[in-house]
Chains A and B, each alone.
Chain A
Amino acid sequence: MKHKFKNYLKLGILLFGISITLTNCEKDDTTFENNTQHGIPSDFKITNFNSLNNTNNSSIINRIQGIKHAKLNTTLTKEVYNAEFDFTINTDNIKLIEIENHQSYIFVIERPYFTNKTENLVLAKQEDNSYKTYLVTYIFTEVQKQQIRNKQSILGNFETDIQELANDMSSDLLSKIEYNSNTNCWVSTTEIHTIGNDYWEITDTNQCQHIDPITGLNDGTCDVDIMQSVFGCAQDISGSGTTSDSSSSPDGSGPSSNTGSGDGGGLLGYQSNSQPCYDKKCSNLHITPSLPEFEETSPCDELKKLATPPTILPKFTELKNHSNDTTPYGKKEKGFKIRKNPTTNSLSAGTVVTGSNDGTNFGVNIPPTPYMTAVVHTHPTTGSVKMFSPQDILFLARMANVIDSSISTTDLTVFLIVNGETYAIRFDDVSTVQSLQVIYNNKKKREKFENDLERDYNKDNNSYTGQTSTIGQQKQRMLTFLNNQNLNISMYQADDSNGFLTKWEKYNDDGTKAPCN
Chain B
Amino acid sequence: MMTEQKHLAINIEKHKNMKNILYISMMLLSLASCKAQTIVPIFSTDDIPNNSNYYHKDVANDLNKFEGAWKYEDTSTNTEFTIILQKKLMVNDNDGSYVYDMLIGEYFYKKDGAIIMNTLTNINNSSTTGYDHNISGSNILHKFNTPRCDACTAPERRTKLIINHPTETEIAGYLTLRHIVDNGIEKLEAINTNASIMGYTQANYNQMPFGEFVFIKQ
Contact = CB atoms under 8 A, between A and B. Distances in A.
A367 B168 CA distance: 14
Given A444-B131, A463-B154, A456 B47 contact: yes
Contact of A365 (B93, B97, B200): B200
B23 interface: no
B193 A395 contact: no
Contact of B139 (A455, A467, A485): A455
B137 A398 contact: no
A443 B47 contact: no
A254 to B, nearest CB: 56
Contact of A451 (B47, B95, B138, B154): B138
A360 B132 contact: no
B137 A451 contact: yes
B198 interface: yes
A424 to B, nearest CB: 16
Interface string B171-212: 011100000000000000001111111111010010000111
Interface in A351-389: 358-368, 375, 383-385
A446 B130 CA distance: 12
B198 A367 contact: yes
Pick the most buried of A365, A385, A459, A467: most chain B CB atoms within 10 A of its CB. Answer: A365
A454 B131 contact: no
A445 to B, nearest CB: 8
A8 interface: no
Interface residues of A, number: 44
A199 B49 CA distance: 56
A506 B200 CA distance: 31
Interface in B17-40: none
Nearest to A365: B198
B144 A468 contact: yes
A386 to B, nearest CB: 11
A394 interface: yes
A105 to B, nearest CB: 51
Interface string A314-356: 0000000000000000000000000000000000000000000
Contacts of B50: 484-486
Interface in A446-493: 446-448, 450-451, 454-456, 458-464, 466-468, 480, 484-486
Contacts of A363: 194, 196, 198
Interface in B94-131: 95, 97, 129-131
Given A361-B193, A391-B197, A461 B145 contact: yes
B206 to A, nearest CB: 10
A375 B192 CA distance: 26
Classify chain B's interface size: 35 or more
A375 B198 contact: yes
A358 B193 CA distance: 10
Contacts of B97: 448
Contacts of A455: 139-140
B86 interface: no
Nearest to A458: B145
Interface in A391-449: 391, 394-395, 398, 443-448
A454 B143 CA distance: 16
A443 to B, nearest CB: 5
B169 interface: yes
Contact of B174 (A448, A454, A459, A461): A454
A22 to B, nearest CB: 53
A447 to B, nearest CB: 4
B70 to A, nearest CB: 19
Nearest to A337: B198
Nearest to B211: A360
A443 B194 contact: no
A163 B41 CA distance: 71
Interface in B47-105: 47, 49-50, 93, 95, 97
B5 interface: no
A451 B139 contact: yes
B136 A398 contact: no
B49 A484 contact: yes
Given A360-B211, A444-B132, A365 B145 contact: no
Given A360-B191, A398-B170, A480-B47, A365 B146 contact: no
Pick the most buried of A358, A367, A454, A462: most chain B CB atoms within 10 A of its CB. Answer: A454
Nearest to A368: B199
Contacts of B93: 444-445, 448
Contact of B143 (A383, A391, A443, A463): A463
A368 B199 CA distance: 6
A461 B144 contact: yes
A473 B106 CA distance: 34
B207 to A, nearest CB: 14
B210 A459 contact: no
A394 B196 CA distance: 10
B144 A466 contact: yes
Interface in A246-301: none
A462 B144 CA distance: 7
Contacts of B172: 447, 450
A384 B141 CA distance: 13
Contacts of A368: 198-199
A358 B139 contact: no
B122 to A, nearest CB: 13
In the A-B complex, the 5 residue pairs with the smallest Cβ-Cβ separation, listed nearest first, are A384-B146, A463-B142, A361-B194, A367-B199, A447-B131
Given A365-B202, A448-B130, 4 more contacts: A367-B200, A445-B95, A458-B146, A461-B142
Interface of A: 358-368, 375, 383-385, 391, 394-395, 398, 443-448, 450-451, 454-456, 458-464, 466-468, 480, 484-486
5 contacts: A368-B198, A391-B195, A443-B169, A454-B139, A463-B145
Interface of B: 45, 47, 49-50, 93, 95, 97, 129-132, 136-147, 154-155, 160, 162, 164, 169-170, 172-174, 191-200, 202, 205, 210-212
